[in-house]
Chain A
Amino acid sequence: MEEKVRIVSEEETLFEGHAHELPFRESAIKQKSLELFDEEDPCILHRSFVFEALGDEVLEALDELGNDVARLDAHEAFAKIDIEAVEATISRC
């Protein structure tokens, strides 16, 4: 059931781990929490559920794009990841 991703920029690995462990933007967390719970400031349990959902969105976006490696600006799901880097790419690992 584990689904890991890697984010790389200029040959440097910026993130490697489970999709739900990605550093998501607070704005994205808030938006997803509103969507799921109608709650801007979710409790820690609901927050963990939000991270799972955002992680799934990233994995589904990778599937949708169909490439092994995708640019971090190639899908709106990736824009929710709080990583700013030049020419960054994301892939499953």
Chain B
Amino acid sequence: MIYLDYAATTPPSETVIEAVTQTLRDYPGNPSSFHRPGREAKKRYQQAKRHIATLLGTIPERIFFTGSGSEATALALKGHPFTPGETILTTTVEHHATLHTLEQLKKNGIRVRTLPCDHEGFLPEETLEAALAEERTGMLSLVHANNEIGTLQDLKALGDLAHAHDVKVHADMVQSPLHMQLALDEMPVDYASFSAHKFFGPKGIGILYARDVNELTPLIDGGGQEHGLRSGTENLPYIVGLEKALAEAVEALTPREAAIRRLAKRFLWRLEASTLEYNLNGPPLEKPRLWNILNIGFKGVDPQRLAYKLDRHDIAVSLGSACSGDTIERSHVLEAIKAPRSHGALRFSLSHHESEEDIDDVVEVLQRLLL
């Protein structure tokens, strides 16, 4: 199997699996209990949280564990105390976790304005500046690194601009930790969402970074865990798994990115050298982007059929479309950037686990299938 769907999920590393199973075995206590097993679990939890905070460039008091990246986003957007008449600004290329949460907020009377991005998925500063001048804005919510086309927003410029208007910033950073060193406290973000399974950690554990916890209202009430922000007994095995995965992600960042860049360049070079008619959706490689996400459109191709055929050849990729009731709709991100409809798009998301031979094999299979 050649797995090229790392933007969807990454398999946990063996060391992460070992960390999770060891924690399941060695820390059976509830961190809220006063007795020894409870205290041991609590200490391990605190240790993991401190380590994770350091790895993300912040302090433990700003780290809150959730069940997923989507939950972290929901907590930031639904938990933030908007005042009547305030607008949330977002973009046309957000993940559904953001867009669908904002749809819910709209039903509750919150005003949401969706800003257009350019044809590479970037939110132009002047677009944000104009919107900030026109709207009484409470928050800017935007995806840092786009999960479909790889666009890397200029969070420093956009966040600074929002802060200059006294506007809070939520960044969906789910795809980011595997590809860059983050220093959250130095970035112009008030909230940020993360998900462990995007960086070789376990599924079912995420993080909300919140600069000021006192501003948020919890979505789940109960025992008051996570400083009252997310009740429910802490999932210590997965928290430790997240810690391990994040540590490995940070430690191996440079060689991993170098390997991914080699593979991305080779993929596009091999496509260019082939007879395939294709286009790269999103920014070219020389622009700010994640190199592991290559959204490729193939002229005249039905992407569902191609993805099926690739699966038959043991090549796993992702579609640039999704179910919508009884129709298959093209991705809203591809629509937003006006990717050519004549080209059926597939997302190839790479990792350092693949070899150059794997990439060559994929292009050869594509050639055979599309001849």
State how many angstroms separate the Cβ of A20 from the closest Cβ of chain B: 7
Q: How far is the CA of A46 from the CA of B370 in the complex (A)?
A: 22
Given the known interface contacts A45-B319, A49-B308, the answer about A1 and B328 at a Cβ–Cβ threshold of 8 Å is: no
Please tell me if A86 contacts chain B, counting CB pairs below 8 Å: no
Please tell me if A16 contacts chain B, counting CB pairs below 8 Å: no
Smallest Cβ-Cβ distance to B308: which chain A residue = A52
A44-B326 in contact (CB<8A): yes
Q: Count contacts on A: residues with CB < 8 A to the other chain.
A: 11
State how many angstroms separate the Cβ of B274 from the closest Cβ of chain A: 15
B304-A1 in contact (CB<8A): no
B312-A48 in contact (CB<8A): no
A44-B323 in contact (CB<8A): yes
Given the known interface contacts A1-B369, A1-B370, A1-B371, the answer about A45 and B305 at a Cβ–Cβ threshold of 8 Å is: no
B327-A44 in contact (CB<8A): yes
Q: How far is the CA of A47 from the CA of B29 in the complex (A)?
A: 45
Contact with B along A29-48 (1 / 0, CB 8 A): 00000000000000111101
Per DSSP, chain B at the interface is: mixed
A56-B328 in contact (CB<8A): no
A44-B370 in contact (CB<8A): no
B326 cross-chain contacts in A, Cβ below 8 A: 44
Interfacial residues of chain A within 10-61, with CB under 8 A of chain B in the complex: 20, 43-46, 48-49, 52-53, 56
B305 cross-chain contacts in A, Cβ below 8 A: 1, 20, 52
Q: How far is the CA of A17 from the CA of B370 in the complex (A)?
A: 18
Please tell me if B157 contacts chain A, counting CB pairs below 8 Å: no
A49 cross-chain contacts in B, Cβ below 8 A: 304, 308
**What residues of chain B have their CB less than 8 Å away from a CB belonging to chain A?**
304-306, 308-309, 312, 319, 321-328, 369-371
20 contacts between A and B (CB under 8 A): A1-B306, A1-B369, A1-B370, A1-B371, A43-B323, A44-B323, A44-B324, A44-B325, A44-B326, A45-B319, A45-B321, A45-B323, A45-B328, A46-B323, A48-B304, A49-B304, A49-B308, A52-B304, A52-B308, A52-B309
**What residues of chain A have their CB less than 8 Å away from a CB belonging to chain B?**
1, 20, 43-46, 48-49, 52-53, 56
